Amino acid sequence: MPIITILFGCVLCGLSLFTACVKVGGVAEAFQDLSVTFKPGTWLIPAGFGIALILLGAIGARGGNTRKHAMHGAAMVGTIGALLCLFQGVSQLMKILQDKEVNMLAVGMVWSMAVVCLTFVGVCVQSFIAARKARQSNA
């Protein structure tokens, strides 16, 4: 499970990088002017959650009791990310339905992060159920 957590963290970091590249117009343009491209903004939110997952995955890879706590912490980070994105995504959809102007790149990023986080939480739940069954069969 720690490796999967690290992979999902990398996907979230990649989502931030992809959003930055699309915002500027391409990968080459994104890296030509780093001062414009990499200003702090909302496009860094997936990277923040991704870095948290990468760190928790690395802690969980050490094994022992820390693995259990780190993976529960990672599931919590994924759940918070999913809930925040779902709330923001629904509010953006309401604006679209009311014919208000919205940033479609931001809408796409929010829903993409929601899908990634929800998928991660689903994988976590399956892993926790499997671990509990394995523990009960060994006892």
Give the type of residue at 40. P
In whole angstroms, what is the distance from residue 42 CA to residue 64 CA?
36
What's 62's DSSP letter? T
In whole angstroms, what is the distance from residue 100 CA to residue 76 CA?
33
- Please report the pLDDT score of residue 35 as a whole number: 52
Per-residue pLDDT tens digits of the chain, which is 139 residues long: 889 999 999 999 999 888 877 776 655 555 555 555 455 567 788 989 999 999 999 999 988 888 889 999 999 999 999 999 999 999 999 998 998 888 888 888 899 999 999 999 999 999 989 988 988 888 7
- Please report the pLDDT score of residue 31 as a whole number: 56
